[in-house]
Structure 1
């Protein structure tokens, strides 16, 4: 009875730390500094909708995509874990994640009227690391109730994104840059542990598969 709730907590934590809503509040605020509060709230709403749709699509259809390219889920666990570990290391060192965006993308976003889909939703929130995490979590969910918990986790995380982005100015005043960096480092530590678990599970399953083939 308690297992789905435990899996919901695990899924929510993994998606929350990789999407990093708190760390991205400052990015959102800097990219919308020329918008009035009403426009900022509309951009926050669209960003949350677009980001959640991207992750939901990959969570639901990720296995079909892997099958099409003949990629095993354990291979994705290993490479995804390495990617997520590199993001976690950046977070623990107080750096913005390299996988989230590039300076060129940020510069280009300044020339766009609406930054809600690019670069905010993709790739800053729903980037390669978040997509990989969603696919792996969905594959780990053995039954429909467990799969629903992954989808619910994605929706909850982006509802939080919407809420935090709407309050971005207030959060900036309360936390400041230092407070945001402290939280980002803490989440980086959790994310690193999740990444190691992905890597070790993937490598162990690949080892067992090779042993079976050899035997």
Structure 2
């Protein structure tokens, strides 16, 4: 596999963390048949992939329409991602994603007895939130050829595949890791995410204020 795809895939996985949504998935699908649980996971996964593709293809255009320079967006995105990583290392979770306790699962299932909750809040913002969208746009902004664009989209599909598999294996994964295992995993991901954020920040600063780097 191309090393660039692996780099993008790891960045997406560290930021989106489908494992962090396993408990919420179990709550939403409590009492569901295997068929409906699979359908819920499929709709959630498809929503994540579509979001990645949308911002990969149109993210840079949106920045231009809003008059935001790439450097400024990278600096802001780097700060946002670093704050997320710092909170994760401290065990506080992702500050721009809702806590699972804040999501009224019973109310959502009562009012919308369909698969709407698979899109929101499961896919967005639980799995791919503002930090994930920012990262997709930043990687897409570096694209210089169709081949590089395809690499990001392919990484998005791979994230989707991992997301679907992890959701379908939610019960055994949750039992295996437990609360402590999920907490440790979250802190390690936070450290990796902070490192990604620093790189994003300085790349943006280099474009936004090139005089600082000679």
Tell me whether the two structures share a fold, i.e. TM-score over 0.5: yes
Aligned 8 A contact 1:105 1:119 in 2 = no
Distance 1:171 1:211, change over 3 A: closer
Q: Distance in 2 between matches of 1:11 and 1:172?
A: 26
1:72 paired with 2:69, answer yes
Q: Distance in 2 between matches of 1:180 and 1:104?
A: 16
**Structure 1 partner of 2:78:** 81
Q: CA RMSD in A?
A: 2.2
Q: Distance in 2 between matches of 1:132 and 1:94?
A: 22
Offset at 1:101? 2.2
Offset at 1:47? 0.1
**Structure 2 partner of 1:200:** 202
Secondary structure at 1:33 match in 2: coil
Q: Distance in 2 between matches of 1:58 and 1:75?
A: 17
Q: State the TM-score, normalized to the length of structure 2.
A: 0.89
Match of 2:88 among 73, 77, 91: 91
Offset at 1:111? 2.1
**Structure 2 partner of 1:135:** 137
Q: State the TM-score, normalized to the length of structure 1.
A: 0.89
Aligned 8 A contact 1:77 1:201 in 2 = yes
Distance 1:211 1:18, change over 3 A: closer
Q: Distance in 2 between matches of 1:102 and 1:92?
A: 16
Secondary structure at 1:111 match in 2: helix
Offset at 1:19? 0.8
Number of matched pairs: 209
**Structure 1 partner of 2:44:** 47
Offset at 1:211? 9.6
Q: Note the residue ranges of structure 2 that are not aligned, 5 or more in a row.
A: none
Moved over 3 A (4+): 102-105, 209-212
Aligned 8 A contact 2:46 2:160 in 1 = yes
Secondary structure at 2:95 match in 1: coil
Secondary structure at 1:98 match in 2: coil
Q: Note the residue ranges of structure 1 that are not aligned, 5 or more in a row.
A: none
Q: Distance in 1 between matches of 2:203 and 2:121?
A: 32
Offset at 1:103? 6.7
